[in-house]
Structure 1
Amino acid sequence: MLKSPLDLSFRGASVYNNFTFVITLIFLFLLSLRNSWITYLTRKEKFYYTFFAFMFLWGVSYLFDFAYELPVAYHSLVHAVFINGSWFFLFFYTLTCSIYLLLQLPTARIFERKMQEVKSLQNLTRAISVELDTSRLTSLITNLIIEVTDSHVSWIELYQPAADSFHVVATKNLSVQDATKLERGALQKLSGQILKERKSLVLNELTSDQKKTYFHGFRTKIASLVVTPIIGVNDQFFGLLYAAKSTSFGFDPDDVNLLEAFANQVAIALENADLLQKSFERERLEQELKIAREVQLRLLPQTRPSLAGYQLTTETIAAYEVGGDYFDFIPRHDQNQMGIVIGDVSGKGTSAAFYMAEVKGIIQSVAQQLHSPYDILCHTNKVLSESLEKKSFITLAFAVLDFKAHALTFARAGHCPIFHYKAQSKQVVYHQPEGIAVGLDRGPIFNKILEEQIVSLEKGDVVVFYTDGLSEAMNVKLEEYTENRMAHILKQYADQSVETIKKHLISDVFEFIGEHHLHDDLTLIILKRME
């Protein structure tokens, strides 16, 4: 094989040169083994490359005589060694590639399928990260199932717990008539079995009874079937993933494993979609609460009226949820009088805020025509009971302060008691005239029960109007603040200004609840006679 003058004998002075040449050949041989790229060729490409590899191997072998032409060696020994080494590399590389291709051919189909499965899972994972629409996502999955498993038909059914039924959300190669039969529960028995067992089912050869039971009258020919449950991380059952073929024994364990992998990805996607929907809903509710809060704040008085001989202060502290707390000061035709109204609309959110706006408009209008708190509340109930929902009601207290006669006339429609600190006796009196909430009755019962009361205010007397967000504020032990604690604080600081009373009362409430949040809005009006 080796021709003169290339002598690879290890004798004499040539031993060093020949040793170096042999090391180079070994290196070239090792380099020729770097052909892992063949693994990633498709099955079709491997057939083509095998044919061309053997053709190229024959061509390289044919070049042997040319690679060892003596004139080249006589002309330049360096060129001859280079040509010899190049021929050895080409021969070794072509030979190893040919052998490797031959070894790869029997498993080429399996490897190509595995690569396709990995690619499909990558596509599905990528789709999950960007696709937020459930219908488009499920349609993509049915297409991938057809592509990877060579199925003829595929569809997805999602489970609806409320109705305890399955709904077909995506189909591929299934006629409208067959999809309608599935929607009507053609596979109800089969679906119920998988819902109970929570594991995949393979029917590789449908019997005549099974075809009659499940696919009677179907236009699509189905001879083998795989059903895989879609189960989330918290064992939440989302639905079923179906793949079917028109030939018997069409599915192997690899197909089932792939469908289970797809089902896991679908479960992740559906969980993400559910979380996203909840996030959108939470964002919508937060926006709604923001709007309701803005509406509520605009409806409350921006300034406090100045009353001769009296001090007046107010406070409204919003809870996280928007309630329907409302208060207002209504000017009277008699300039020696001032109307005071405080109320609480049942419910939360925008509905409570809009009811609050309606109450404000009605009372401001009625208070200009009627004089007594009794008449004002009766008329307000008559108007509002026609528009309020059955589950909604409003508690109201309306008072008229005559700061010339120093008298307070008031009526209470189911609202919290009115606290009255009497400076002379230094006692707190709870005024609770009879009355039911607005909206609970259209008129006769409301008018009959409602009472009006008049109290005289002496110098130093303090009157407190409030909503139940104050008295029912709870601590971490779910204990309520109670009206008794309010009365204690009121007695303790009644001889000071209304701002000081308010400061200590609010401070005591928050000291009581500690780390617990207010569950309802807190509204407070404090009135004190100074002269």
Structure 2
Amino acid sequence: MISRSNAVKIFISVNIVSWLLLLVVNLLNFLGWNNYPALGVPVYLKGLLLNLFLAFIFFYYRITVGQLRDDTFINLLTRLVVTGCTTVLVSVLMRFLVFLLGENLLAQHAEVSTIFYHVNIGLITIFLTQTFFVWKILILYQKSRGLLTFWYFFEYCLLASLLLNFFQTNTFGPVFLGLFGILSLYGFILSVNLRWVAYLNFKEKWQGILLIILVVLFSLYFMYTLWDYVLDRARSVDIFANVYMLAMFTFIFIYALFSILVILFNLPTTSVFEQKIEELLNFQKLTQSLQMGDSETKVYETLIEGTVKATLAEAAWLEVTDDKGNIQSFINRNISRSQTQAIKEYLNAKNGHRQLTVPLMKNLKKKSGFTDSMLIPYKSLLTVPLLFQNKHYGMLTLLKEEKDGFDNENAETVTVFARLAGVAIENFRLVSNALENERYKEALNIAKKVQQSLLPTCTNLSDQFELSIFSHASDEVGGDYYDFYKMADTQTAIIIGDVSGKGTSAAFHMAQMKGVFQSLIEMNLHPDEFLRHANNALSRCLEKNQFITASYFLIDTEFHSIQYARAGHCPTLYFSFRDNEVYYLQDKGLGLGILRSEDYSLHISKQEIIYYSGDAMLLYTDGIVEAKNTGGEEYGYERLLHFMRTHIQQPAEQFTHLLVTEIQQFCGSENLDDDYTAVFLKFI
């Protein structure tokens, strides 16, 4: 078996040898055509050498470019442009050499012109073939089986077109035009696959447009150069009479054009989407400040930074008051304390309107005692109270220099921040005094109700399977999480997770996981991509010593398929009705928030299985298998597997009831030391 590295060496060697032989036989053909007819070279031999060169270039890049499919899109395009720059530079240097030698001298030595022409053929073949396989990676991003089959058919048809080089066919005749038309049509159909564009941010989209334009310009330059050589003198190897090269160039040009247009059409919405993602992360950051140990100052700084970014305000200040109305904390950005006091007096005179768009400096000058040191250039103001259950905790004020700087969306966004800040301030004060008064218990009861409201209660998701759930927290609130989402009539997403730790901290992170799930589920991602995006989002808000394990499933009842990926969670227990066997689904996976870099995607994988009627699977948290009896012995994976094998014929609801009963009997208590959750799904 030839290794990949040896295969690459063979391809390079054959490419060089076939190109040199092609050059030699064409020089001989040129000499035979002009002076020595006996030295003429048959068409099929030239076709063989040309095909060897084109085919081995094709397979060389098929191997080498395929190794880069896990790289970023911009890096792929950048490497392609580097190749284009290198090949174009060589071609331009040859043109400069022609200029130095003089056109008349070159015309007298047509052999030199033939050499330059064949060098350009090699350069354009290298560049177009690499571009072809970079386009392949882009087109097959998030590929389907049908798309993959269609692409390989296109490749085989393109290679089959090389057979025409063995014959002296009529250029642009029926056979030539028919095959070229079919290949162009296939390329056009493939060019509508542009899913990769949606994963570029605003900056990357502009970079992509520039790089693709350069690819087009390099391709056009080579085509113009070769056309110039063909017009100058009849060539025994005419690239423009080659279906393979023309079809490849046409496909590259069409896909480049489609890519540029789609990226341009996506540009207006990109900044809005990124702003919404930034707002989501700011919401998560503010929610994180609810944890024990965070200072109130951190909560306030997070609030003011988030609102300034969301509204693009030039200045802001935050006042937090105690129960008696005295200022407890004051934080300002790009505005002095004396300026804020002058604005507050002006607002009181205006009866404290929430949003004003009057020229503040002009009106403030009318007030007595106002000095030039208090000059305020702002013309728009938005002020929102910090409230929670009718309790007033202070005011948040934002300013802009332009008139009518705040719209209704800004006001709604800041209001949501302010309400969340009110909850954060209230919870912080409750938690800080939890051991001294009963308000802590009330807050935990509220948190428990809120947490219960975050978990779905309806299990009637599909008539294709039964679903039963049992979840219990060891404290008032816990870190176990499960959720469902009906993506389509035949598609259902299911997730189960477990936050490290217990209590309120785990509960808050569970709520963050809920927000991440709801925001990402609309993107219709594969399970591994879903976990990669979730890891990116949670890495920004989880403490360094905290993480979340999860398993994510996509169930398609039309095709009876289950796609799933695991992020360090307990392995799913699966029953195969056809094999009458119970086993754990083993696959790799790393918890969310453990590895906070792009390398995280290397530690997860997407798996897919086909289910049949009667199959079942049990999703659970580690509180079940780690439940201990009075002797310190864990319930364990083997007992769980034996239980499922024994009770698999039971209906879903009865199954989970029997499981919880057995675990409680094993431990000798209904109150376990850890949160435990079981989600049982049985296919009908």
Provide TM-score, normalisation by structure 2. 0.36
Which structure has the bigger radius of gyration?
A: 1
**Higher helix fraction: Structure 1 or Structure 2?**
2
